[in-house]
Amino acid sequence: MKTVEQKPKYSLNEEQEKKLILREYRALLRALKDKIKPGDKDILRRAFEMAADAHSSMRRKSGEPYILHPIAVAKICVEEIGLGVRSTVCALLHDTVEDTDITLQDIEREFGSEIARIVDGLTKISNVIDSSASQQAENFKKILLTLTDDPRVILIKLADRLNNMRTLDSMKREKQLKIASETVYIFAPLAHRMGLYSIKTELEDLAMKYLEPDTYKEIAKKLAETKRDRTRYINEFIKPIKEKLEKNKFDFEIYGRPKNIHSIWNKMKKKGVTFEEVYDLFAIRIILNSPQEREKEDCWKVYSLITDEYTPSIERLRDWVSNPKSNGYEALHTTVMGPRGKWVEVQIRTKRMNEIAEKGLAAHWKYKEGSANENRFDKWFQQIREVLYNQDADSVDFLQDFKMSFLTEEIYIYTPKGDIKMLPVGSTALDFAFSIHTAIGAKTIGAKVNHKLVPISYKLRSGDQVEIITSNKQTPSEDWLSFVVTAKAKAKVKEALKEEKKKVADEGRYTIQRKLEGMGVSVQQANLDELVQFYKLHSNLELFYQVAIKNIDLKELKEFKVIGDRIEYPRPVKIVQENKIESHTPAQNNNKQDTELIIFGESSDKIMYHLANCCKPIPGDDVFGFITTGKGLAIHRTNCPNAPKLLANYGHRIVKTKWAKNKEISFLTGVRIIGMDDVGVVSKITSLISAELKINIAALTIEASEGLFEGNIKVYVHDKEELDELVNRLKDLDGIESVERYDTEDLPAK
């Protein structure tokens, strides 16, 4: 695991800088030496000189010359992803079109159309787009369009993101939050999907370092403290396996590898356990040097030797040797009961499989010839193409659907003829129907899964054989959107519903036209915009539709003023207040970009705000402000479940926020306690909270079962410091197993 250390303040003179840049460039050439063919050095030198010249006056936030960034990105492409000379040229030039005077035409003239096309895919969208959509989402959509033509775009983009994350220390806090959130929301899952596991884990760890710094430091500290014990245990576990492998004449490597901090934290949250209770803190990896025709046989032989020594957990066997993942990943994973009653994950793969696991897509093409799975990536790209060319989708919705459809684990479903379809986990029979053909999906009324009749919403499991039942009378309905998960199914259902809506909406349009003409004005866009805004809808179509189905009767039209050929609704006074909030948006007021909104301080009377229900922040929590539409400023914790989506998609609506000390205001929060069901336990807990700590209890529920109790207590605290003290004191009580903070959306406001 790599970590980023705080760099000392940058201080090099011009001569030292030139030497540093040259040293880094030469290191890049050394990394490439096995891939350089005659003539390549010349093209690399030209790309380096063009980039160095274009970025010569630019600096990074750390003070370093900007050219060090493209060189570092190129080095990641070569050393950590395994890309070649042409990708290196693209990486060196990846920021020139966006940030300098160089145009795509200049690059095409100098390096040809292939490199120009990749650089274009890497160039961020610079034109101003609709503020209601996310620039990041739009940009991502554009990159993905290029990805389907040339996957090197996304690989270089991931290298770019990795270097940005490694050098994030010099950025402002709000920028760190936005970039880290984008990383964990989209780029880490994408690296995983492209098979770049080591890059994925490093991106997750670095994002966590900025999003949840305290937890990150705590787990890193505990990993360091337990390193010696883990090493001793790994050696004890490996010894008998090593002997068996040597006895059976295998050529192999075997070692233990700690899980990354982010995945340990995820396991702690998911299972509700402490660091000490996470059973697989490390995985044992066995890498075999086997010829390709004997790989499968050797992997299973090794599995057999391991399970002779240690008892396996049957439900935790993963066979990606017989059926590789769509990103090319192949391995056998099993979890076995090791010495001293500890579960240990063992991964078995060959050298070829290991290279694909580390270098992902780039290694996949190296071994593509003769592979039975060579078209899996191509199928994946084809599915993405279908979704991308559905241009109606809102960018943020698109990003969410893309995550669900293409960045999750997949399951394998069989057609009645035995063909395999890959679908994301959680897919339904209806998703399967749409994956076969849009026309079949639209007419689906049911399905047979393993010869048993099931509804269209039935969730499929890997290995199911599915037969779709259709009817010509069936049409898509609104409730289908609540259970389909694939982007293709969602897009096609929305398309069908929109067509149906348009037919109904025509009647509403005529109604509005008659009403407006009766007022002496025409059906022009400005008047429709006024009505859409007044009724708080999101489009003309929605307005026409709501009028047509009699949800809106237009009786409020009599309150509108007629000014020439325009209608206008008198603005309420509260709009002035809302504008006051908007002025604090960094995107709208560049002079106040560094202003910190102090919550519950002197300026609190000037700003409308509320504490988000989804995470219930209290003073002392790391928070940010988010400008909502119509409800003022919402204060969220940076580790709120919704934070990654908000920060990644709506960076322009984020406001830097901090707490002011105020001991007069109390905040409602909750603690969950699990412990031994003993006489007087409730009395001990309430006595500590009320009598000793003088904290007000708002509600208390205790449920006991089979010798254990679970208590949920809602309390009023002044700040995080007070809550932390409460949690620590409760943990010290006899018989208490665990105490954790929880946040409920139904907590009443004080």
- Catalytic residues, by residue number, are 98-99
Q: In 600-694, which ranges are E strands?
A: 609-611, 623-627, 633-637, 654-655, 657-659, 667-676
How many angstroms separate the CA atoms of 443 and 448, rounded?
A: 15
How many angstroms separate the CA atoms of 220 and 671, rounded?
A: 25
Closest CA to 205 of 226, 191, 225: 191
Q: Do the strands 667-676 and 736-742 form a parallel or antiparallel pair, or are they unpaired?
A: antiparallel
Q: How far is CA 202 from CA 151, 158, 280, 382, 461, in A?
A: 21, 12, 19, 29, 31
Cβ neighbours of residue 136 closer than 8 Å, sequence gap 6 or more: 182, 186, 399, 648, 649, 651
Bridge partners of residue 665, in order along the sequence: none
Closest CA to 647 of 409, 399, 407: 399
Burial of 340 (0-12, 13-18, 19+ CB in 10 A): exposed
By three-state DSSP, how is residue 166 classified?
A: helix
Give a three-class secondary structure readout of 210-269: HHCHHHHHHHHHHHHHCHHHHHHHHHHHHHHHHHHHHHCCCCEEEEEEECCHHHHHHHHH
The span from the first CA to the last CA of the chain, in angstroms, equals: 45
Q: Which H/E stretch holds residue 209? A: helix 197-211
Burial of 279 (0-12, 13-18, 19+ CB in 10 A): middle
Q: Which two tokens stand for residue 180?
A: 């880290």
Whether 399 contacts 140, CB under 8 Å: yes
Return the axis-axis angle of helices 525-534 and 540-548, rounded to nearest 10°: 70
